[in-house]
Structure 1
């Protein structure tokens, strides 16, 4: 039976009436299915389900019905990443990934394992861990009886095609089921350097249009970042089909928005957060991140297209249809952090096919899907261009939508500072009064700034939308401390050993200039990035080597570094190698240098100024430095641009016991909404999965998960029974790790 007919038949059995016209905004016909067949639920990325068996009246009875243990993260010496995967369900089978990058298939009704694929079962393949947020499904629809059904997912720089029925690699795809994602990024003749050994991975799955797999990538954000081109591969053979240059080559549209030959020395401008597809139009919509290097753009004067853009591409050819840049000449790492969302809204009395994009700095841009014209006016607002670092040319204006209002805090003022205790307020006020603050577009400086949006705002968990044009987004209000300083290595002002150079190149972006981590650890709340100054006393050299090579928890693999380079870092960390001539640790943001740097060479680019690492600013007890809410859940009517409701999301259990409730917490993972009137989301520090009334924002059910659910849930139906499932990977915020998936249903 055709999937659409099957879906309609199932809905008739359930007594569900789906109004295709009559003023309701139809989202996507794939949504009529009882499955959850793609990342985001459907090609449009709505994260909406028409299922209503679980609803406002009975959700209080929801209970766990099965748990699937992946087997990972049980041995503290064999941990992988947290689980950020939103699984998919096709024909009653759930496909997902484990903390150690294994792909699995289980019965969606029982959690019984059908098969598991381990990309590192070959002893010659060492693990390479990184965040992995989903997988893709494709089947051969040219033959009704075909058994060619594939799951496609990425591990490191490898894209795998796995038989969905057996869990075996599809030998006709690439080389024995695997292709190298360095393909299509350019060669030495074009770029002036080789890309084969540069770090690239895919953290969020792409989309499949007919027989094309279209994907972005995650790359480093420092001086050795490869270009973040969007590419399409033949889903049958793995052959490269087309490439869209997000950093234009000479003669291409947008080349003039960079310095001459920027494409030879800079990278990034990559779609790491995912994309969506309008299958009827044959158009793919993607959002891109910032160009390298973060926080200093002296080598790239101009607007820098197509970094920080929402882009519409012809899915068949990769040709640009339209674009809109949300940040010009990004100096603040304000990537587009989640996929766009294809919705229908009523605008000026007419129904309009639209695309909505949430941003790291709390904006929601809404565009006409065909033209890219904003549905609500966007103003080019003048912003500060000084004080700027020498060589920097900040762009004088930035786009600001007039509607909707921002869903996250925009600027810091003294009344916004925490008053949790007199001591915490005094601690934060002291830093506040000795830092730059104010306009969120203040250029990075050597004086140091307190800013929002190094992290979201919106995060990678994505947004949801229902057929009424209501848009749901969770957001963070977290403060960051950004301080720039001269790159002594680039300017040859300090001698550095190999180990210290590599540490600064690869590790200080997260662990800080002196390896002391970020935040302030307490018994109740571990800091975001651990202190490494005494790591040699806590771990053996062999244990450190394993973590560097494979990754663990939030830390990705650095297996792309040579063994000698990893050993040099270990020697530096364990104080077995002499300190550099200067005691100052020089930070090079997320750059990976695997060969001696030649002065004057285009690549890797060595910026003259560097940041102090990803340093979140909290009080001395490691709680957020501002007044709550620290995390929110928002419902916005995109027909009008007005808020339907805004509520805190999550709380700290230890503060709640003291009477400080409903604070919200930092949150990672997104929402889904259903025809049953519900919104489901986990994402928070308190490790709970919650159901909200989608019309009011009231919590109507919650459940403490076995480990934090820092992923986006799904819902689906098998044999007439509706389920809600989520990955429980933990690890984030210093919480316990986990390796399971849990499904819920009504008794």
Structure 2
């Protein structure tokens, strides 16, 4: 009897399968030791046994692999249900190996008993494997067309008539959110769900402001242009101001503030300029119509909106220095990235500080200047809130106090300005925070517009240790609650809560309850026993090991091991030296783009995003030694002077993919009077993030903001793929999309041209820290002339 000749194909296949099995088995043992799933050890054993049997040319290899296929399929469905994007990474490798094993060059080389011919694909050992593969294919096909994350429903139609607000003509856009209310809602109706698919590019303008070699990583286009009369006004990352003809996109003028070089900036962006028209000025008066520009080198400049010339009568030769009376002055460590609010004859402005650099950072003071002269009228110091009069020379405001880097709102009828506040630095350790200052950390506050005195404060996070600062503009809207009209404020937050408050008092309109949270802060710190949770919440369910994801079983196994190695007890798990999983991460369920609100429907359009981050405290022996940055870098996250530096990074696999399963981004609609989420759909593709540019609709984060219109259409451009999209407000159905030349991480706006057409304006300049493609395009869309 002669022995069958060795098969190189079988030998190589068996060796590779065995090697894969060793890797899975070793990782599986590690995971089991951490209290995790047994699947990887069992699957690794199946890989090893199959590999050995293939090398030995035994048909039993196909039986064993059929068991691996069925076991993997059952485990995957048990853990993930019919979720294609969770099933596919768990099973594609097992499935492809199975397909390979039923090929003739494998089955034909397997020896049976003496005198028997080798089994065929559909005979003997090949039949169970073929059937298991068919079952896996069927389950995969069903799951591909299912979407367990989709929530279908409808928002109510218009149920209230809204009078013209703030004297802003329907076809114009006078403030960041169109009006002081910050609704990001256009009353224009010409673009509807029935015709939006016909939108086309009307014109494109390129600003010429592009990233340079000395710019910080986070150099970004986040601007929402203004439209007044027939002119558009916008600013660029380097704080150039450009005026464009609203109908043609032709440049009328530009202004370069000559920003100081070599600034130690964390962010280089300009979200917009502010507008003011003098009430009694002559039509031809110089600077009767003004724009106010915040700059990266901490100035506020007044410009003539007609010419772009500096208004020399304002401040000191046309500008105000925001370092005045500021403690710990250091170039680039304090500046405004958001446009100030101009109301009641005042310019109210806050500023950003570089995150987590030290315990000696500038103040978060909010200041109000006379809109004509630039004279300081009042200042709200979170460390000394009762003293709002300007300080004399030589005095400084409270350092390290919560700052307002985002956009404010105002209600001139109530005489209040609404301010979103960040955290008292450092963000992840609060052992030495002043209780007086911490009263306002991660809060939205109402200040008297005339005096700066505190009217009320609502804290969204107690003793914030997660960088859950209030990131977005408060949105003002009137709601009908129990038969009464309530002037409300809608405040989105990074942790996913949307607080709906009475803007007169700060009391909740939708219920807010305090819930117990994980305890056990780092040495020298404490945790709050509870945190406020709103009835309207986009807080995701807590992560579990089964939520870990990867492109292959191996990086998914890595993520499971990493998940088990981090401290995680749900939202608000305190930072630790071990490393804490922060979910939602400080990227935020909502960030500076906020939400759009339709005052006629009394509903909102939101873009919740879900990304986990890791926060690891690094003990420092020397208060000034760098632990997480190079000497040449801005010392972000060093927390110099505190007992811990901090490492902050997205929770990703070695392949750079999120360790949590998709979707990572949605569009959603919610009823503001009931607090109910009406619909919620995955949004965006991985076309511009994947190695192969395939438009898989997995749901990606958005960083920007939405626009709603009275025509029943919403627009969004900020997803990580380069598209602007339109949606039916009632159902959330996507109606149209167009490819952008760069990342569109900004908020669209809409206006009427002289030709009577409704335009939708999109800014596509990219976002440095997100890695989206850089550009400098301003794009106007409109329906065809005919």
When normalised by structure 1's length, the TM-score is: 0.77
Aligned equivalent of 1:589: 637
Stretch moving more, 137-146 or 42-51: 137-146
Q: Distance between the aligned counterparts of 1:659 and 1:220, measured in 2?
A: 37
The answer (yes or no) to whether the contact 1:198–1:226 under 8 Å persists in 2 is: no
- Return the match for 2:743 from 708, 712, 726: 708
Q: Distance between the aligned counterparts of 1:275 and 1:201, measured in 2?
A: 16
Q: Distance between the aligned counterparts of 1:701 and 1:393, measured in 2?
A: 49
Q: Distance between the aligned counterparts of 2:642 and 2:331, measured in 1?
A: 21
Which whole-Å deviations, capped at 9, do the CAs of 1:372-414 have from their partners, x for residues lacking one?
110122112222221x21111222221112x11x224252211
Match runs of 1:561-580 below 5 Å: 569=632
The answer (yes or no) to whether the contact 2:550–2:653 under 8 Å persists in 1 is: no
Which whole-Å deviations, capped at 9, do the CAs of 1:32-82 have from their partners, x for residues lacking one?
431111111111000001101111111111011111111122877889932
- Return the match for 1:43 from 167, 180, 188: 180
Q: Does 1:481 align with 2:614?
A: yes
The answer (yes or no) to whether the contact 2:177–2:184 under 8 Å persists in 1 is: yes
The alpha-carbon distance between structure 1 residues 23 and 106, as it changes in their structure 2 partners (threshold 3 A), is closer
The alpha-carbon distance between structure 1 residues 422 and 31, as it changes in their structure 2 partners (threshold 3 A), is farther
Q: Does 1:442 align with 2:573?
A: yes
Deviation at 1:479, TM superposition (A): 0.9
Find the structure with the greater CA-based Rg: 2
Q: Distance between the aligned counterparts of 1:23 and 1:116, measured in 2?
A: 41
Aligned equivalent of 1:325: 459
Aligned equivalent of 2:9: none
Aligned equivalent of 1:347: 481
Deviation at 1:269, TM superposition (A): 0.8
The answer (yes or no) to whether the contact 1:306–1:325 under 8 Å persists in 2 is: yes
Secondary structure of the corresponding residue to residue 346 of structure 1: strand
Aligned equivalent of 1:648: 682
Q: Distance between the aligned counterparts of 2:636 and 2:780, measured in 1?
A: 43
Q: Distance between the aligned counterparts of 1:392 and 1:705, measured in 2?
A: 47
The alpha-carbon distance between structure 1 residues 209 and 264, as it changes in their structure 2 partners (threshold 3 A), is closer
Stretch moving more, 37-46 or 296-305: 296-305
Stretch moving more, 368-377 or 645-654: 645-654
The alpha-carbon distance between structure 1 residues 698 and 656, as it changes in their structure 2 partners (threshold 3 A), is farther
- Return the match for 1:58 from 195, 198, 203: 195
Aligned equivalent of 1:622: 656
- Return the match for 1:422 from 553, 563, 587: 553
Q: Distance between the aligned counterparts of 1:480 and 1:78, measured in 2?
A: 25
Aligned equivalent of 2:102: none
- Return the match for 1:162 from 293, 299, 303: 303
Root mean square deviation, CA, Å: 2.6
Aligned equivalent of 1:14: none
Q: Distance between the aligned counterparts of 1:77 and 1:439, measured in 2?
A: 40
Which whole-Å deviations, capped at 9, do the CAs of 1:88-146 have from their partners, x for residues lacking one?
0101100011233211101011111000101118xx86677722111101111123535
Aligned equivalent of 1:685: 720
The alpha-carbon distance between structure 1 residues 76 and 111, as it changes in their structure 2 partners (threshold 3 A), is farther
Deviation at 1:209, TM superposition (A): 1.1
The answer (yes or no) to whether the contact 2:363–2:398 under 8 Å persists in 1 is: no
Aligned equivalent of 1:744: 781
Aligned equivalent of 2:7: none
Deviation at 1:689, TM superposition (A): 0.3
- Return the match for 1:724 from 755, 760, 764: 760
Which whole-Å deviations, capped at 9, do the CAs of 1:185-210 have from their partners, x for residues lacking one?
4xxxxxxx554757211111121113
The alpha-carbon distance between structure 1 residues 208 and 514, as it changes in their structure 2 partners (threshold 3 A), is closer
Deviation at 1:415, TM superposition (A): 2.4
Q: Distance between the aligned counterparts of 1:73 and 1:220, measured in 2?
A: 23
Which whole-Å deviations, capped at 9, do the CAs of 1:227-261 have from their partners, x for residues lacking one?
11111011111111101112236x779xxxxxxxx
Deviation at 1:649, TM superposition (A): 2.1
Aligned equivalent of 1:188: none
Q: Does 1:284 align with 2:347?
A: no
The answer (yes or no) to whether the contact 1:416–1:627 under 8 Å persists in 2 is: yes
Which whole-Å deviations, capped at 9, do the CAs of 1:669-709 have from their partners, x for residues lacking one?
00010011100001111110000001111110100111111
Q: Distance between the aligned counterparts of 1:205 and 1:107, measured in 2?
A: 21
Deviation at 1:25, TM superposition (A): 5.3
Aligned equivalent of 2:400: 267
The answer (yes or no) to whether the contact 1:220–1:226 under 8 Å persists in 2 is: no
The answer (yes or no) to whether the contact 1:220–1:268 under 8 Å persists in 2 is: no
Aligned equivalent of 1:90: 228
Secondary structure of the corresponding residue to residue 475 of structure 1: coil
Q: Distance between the aligned counterparts of 1:248 and 1:236, measured in 2?
A: 27
Secondary structure of the corresponding residue to residue 653 of structure 1: coil
Match runs of 1:101-250 below 5 Å: 101-120=239-258, 130-145=268-283, 147=285, 148-156=288-296, 157-185=298-326, 194-195=328-329, 199-222=333-356, 223-248=359-384
The alpha-carbon distance between structure 1 residues 610 and 659, as it changes in their structure 2 partners (threshold 3 A), is same
The alpha-carbon distance between structure 1 residues 425 and 470, as it changes in their structure 2 partners (threshold 3 A), is same
The alpha-carbon distance between structure 1 residues 316 and 136, as it changes in their structure 2 partners (threshold 3 A), is same
Q: Distance between the aligned counterparts of 1:236 and 1:658, measured in 2?
A: 52
Secondary structure of the corresponding residue to residue 569 of structure 1: coil
Aligned equivalent of 1:464: 596
Q: Distance between the aligned counterparts of 1:746 and 1:436, measured in 2?
A: 53
Q: Distance between the aligned counterparts of 1:477 and 1:194, measured in 2?
A: 36
Q: Which has the higher contact order (CA 8 A, sep 6+)?
A: 1
Q: Distance between the aligned counterparts of 1:78 and 1:439, measured in 2?
A: 37
Secondary structure of the corresponding residue to residue 737 of structure 1: coil
Deviation at 1:590, TM superposition (A): 5.8
The answer (yes or no) to whether the contact 2:417–2:448 under 8 Å persists in 1 is: yes
Q: Distance between the aligned counterparts of 1:315 and 1:697, measured in 2?
A: 37
Q: Distance between the aligned counterparts of 1:92 and 1:421, measured in 2?
A: 54
The alpha-carbon distance between structure 1 residues 639 and 606, as it changes in their structure 2 partners (threshold 3 A), is same
The alignment covers a number of residue pairs equal to: 606
- Return the match for 1:369 from 497, 503, 506: 503
The alpha-carbon distance between structure 1 residues 729 and 715, as it changes in their structure 2 partners (threshold 3 A), is same
The alpha-carbon distance between structure 1 residues 232 and 678, as it changes in their structure 2 partners (threshold 3 A), is same
The alpha-carbon distance between structure 1 residues 126 and 149, as it changes in their structure 2 partners (threshold 3 A), is farther
Q: Distance between the aligned counterparts of 2:250 and 2:197, measured in 1?
A: 26
The answer (yes or no) to whether the contact 1:182–1:196 under 8 Å persists in 2 is: no
Q: Distance between the aligned counterparts of 2:622 and 2:397, measured in 1?
A: 21
- Return the match for 1:611 from 630, 638, 646: 646
The answer (yes or no) to whether the contact 1:151–1:163 under 8 Å persists in 2 is: yes
Q: Distance between the aligned counterparts of 1:198 and 1:726, measured in 2?
A: 29
Deviation at 1:175, TM superposition (A): 2.0
The answer (yes or no) to whether the contact 1:68–1:742 under 8 Å persists in 2 is: yes
The answer (yes or no) to whether the contact 2:328–2:362 under 8 Å persists in 1 is: no
When normalised by structure 2's length, the TM-score is: 0.73
- Return the match for 2:430 from 297, 306, 323: 297
The answer (yes or no) to whether the contact 1:27–1:44 under 8 Å persists in 2 is: no
Deviation at 1:301, TM superposition (A): 6.3
Q: Distance between the aligned counterparts of 1:175 and 1:45, measured in 2?
A: 30
The answer (yes or no) to whether the contact 2:629–2:636 under 8 Å persists in 1 is: no
The answer (yes or no) to whether the contact 1:72–1:78 under 8 Å persists in 2 is: no
Q: Distance between the aligned counterparts of 2:311 and 2:397, measured in 1?
A: 36
The alpha-carbon distance between structure 1 residues 265 and 677, as it changes in their structure 2 partners (threshold 3 A), is closer
Secondary structure of the corresponding residue to residue 775 of structure 2: strand
Q: Distance between the aligned counterparts of 2:429 and 2:516, measured in 1?
A: 20
The answer (yes or no) to whether the contact 1:410–1:440 under 8 Å persists in 2 is: no
Aligned equivalent of 2:707: 672
